[in-house]
Structures are given as C-alpha cells and as structure tokens.
C-alpha cells in the first residue's frame, strides 16, 4: 500500500499494532506500550496532513502489517519540536538549510521481527525515497539503536559532517548520492 495523505489513517489501528511491537522491543524496551501507541497515533494523525506526506506499508500473507515507512518534505522554517533542536545543534542552521530543507524526511521505518532479515527494510526505504525531491532524503535515529545504525550504513546512507562538537543522542543520515530508484521494490513474497 502506498499513501500520499490522510488515507493512511484508514489503517491506523494496524499500523499502531506494528509500531508498538517494533518500538517497545529492545533497544526501546523502556517505553510504555500504551503511551507509545497513544503518541504514535496522535502524531500520525497530524503528520498525514504535512506537505509532501507519504507512506508505504507492506503486509504479510495474513494481511497484517509486516513493515512500514512514513515521511514528508521538510519545510522552512526548520521545526523546533521533537528532536529537531538536536539536529540543529548537531549540524548548525546553515547545514540544515543546505542539506535538509526541501528534502524528504523519513520519520518512521519499522519492520516487525517476523519479517526482518528478508530485505523488507531496504525495500521500504527504497520505495519511500524513490520520488524524493532531487533524490535527497534524510532521517535521524537514536544513537543507541545499533541495529538501525548498521542497517542505514549498509544501505549506503551517510552521516553528514558534524558542525558542533556538542554531543546529542541522535544520529543524522543523508541518502546515498545518485541513488537510482528501483522499479517497484515492494513487489515481494514474504
């Protein structure tokens, strides 16, 4: 399933189930499932209306969400909520303007445990970034999510040079340069 707006909310319950399973397991096991579900649902209800919003959802043979990715075009001025302040501190305002404004921001990418190591994460990432403006995408992840860090590096994503030495608990990644979109990376059989 591909979505470019609020129609993604039609599968909000199924996405919420997947999100909670993925993002309350290690290294996020410290999170409350109830609070995680509530926060994700409320956030997605607003995010689905952002300019350039898009989502891709992969389902398994039983029709359950196996994985998903969401994102949107980063607008100016650069936001100040959530972890955006950490991104500003890490890269500096000029680099944020140069590298992130107008790019596709990958907000969420998750694959359920039963679908991991199948290549689904890479297909989701390729699918959601296939039409990124100028081929430019970015994302951030938690510095303690070691499997996620390794995954993005294997996919060819790169960390931009850090402008400020001030440490934060996030890592910013930029999409690989000159990445050619795949024809239809989500045609697969689990």
Is pLDDT of 147 > 50? yes
pLDDT band at 184 (very low <50, low <70, confident <90, very high): very low
pLDDT of residue 163: 84
Whole-Å CA distances, 139 to 78, 135, 147, 157: 14, 14, 15, 9
pLDDT of residue 179: 52
Is pLDDT of 148 > 50? yes
Distance CA 137, CA 71 (A): 9
Residue 10 lies in a domain: yes
Residue 188 lies in a domain: no
Is pLDDT of 37 > 70? yes
Contacts for 19 with CB less than 8 Å, ≥ 6 apart: 36, 37, 40, 68, 108, 110
Residue 162 lies in a domain: yes
Residue 18 lies in a domain: yes
110 is in which domain, residue-wise? Answer: 2-174
* Structural contact between residues 175 and 157, judged by C-beta atoms closer than 8 angstroms: yes
Our count of domains for the chain comes to: 1
Global pTM reads 0.89
Residue 181 lies in a domain: no
* Structural contact between residues 185 and 119, judged by C-beta atoms closer than 8 angstroms: no
Supply the CATH number for residue 160's domain: 3.40.630.30
Q: Structure tokens of 161?
A: 């040079």
Residue 167 lies in a domain: yes
Residue 184 lies in a domain: no
Element containing residue 104 per DSSP (H, E): strand 104-111
Query: Which phi and psi angles does 129 have, rounded to 5°?
Result: -95, -5
pLDDT in tens, 79-106: 989 999 999 989 999 999 999 999 999 9
pLDDT of residue 165: 66
pLDDT of residue 188: 32
Average pLDDT along the chain = 91
Distance CA 124, CA 176 (A): 15
Residue 182 lies in a domain: no
Is pLDDT of 127 > 50? yes
């Amino acid at each position: 399933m591909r979505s470019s707006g609020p129609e993604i909310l039609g599968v909000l319950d199924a996405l919420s189930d997947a999100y909670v399973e993925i993002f309350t397991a290690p290294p996020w096991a410290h999170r409350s499932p109830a609070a995680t579900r509530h926060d994700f649902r409320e956030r997605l209800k607003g995010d689905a209306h952002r300019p350039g919003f898009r989502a891709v959802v992969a389902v398994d043979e039983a029709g359950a969400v196996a994985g998903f990715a969401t994102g949107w075009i980063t607008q100016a001025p650069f936001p100040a909520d959530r972890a955006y302040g950490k991104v500003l501190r890490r890269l500096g305002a000029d680099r944020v303007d140069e590298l992130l404004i107008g790019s596709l921001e990958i907000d969420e990418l998750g694959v359920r445990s039963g679908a991991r190591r199948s290549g689904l994460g890479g297909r989701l990432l390729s699918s959601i970034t296939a039409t990124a403006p100028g081929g430019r995408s970015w994302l951030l992840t938690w510095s303690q999510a070691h499997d996620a860090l390794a995954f993005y590096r294997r996919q060819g994503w790169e960390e931009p040079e850090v402008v400020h030495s001030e440490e934060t608990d996030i890592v910013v990644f930029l999409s690989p340069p000159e990445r050619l979109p795949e024809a239809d990376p989500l045609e697969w059989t689990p």
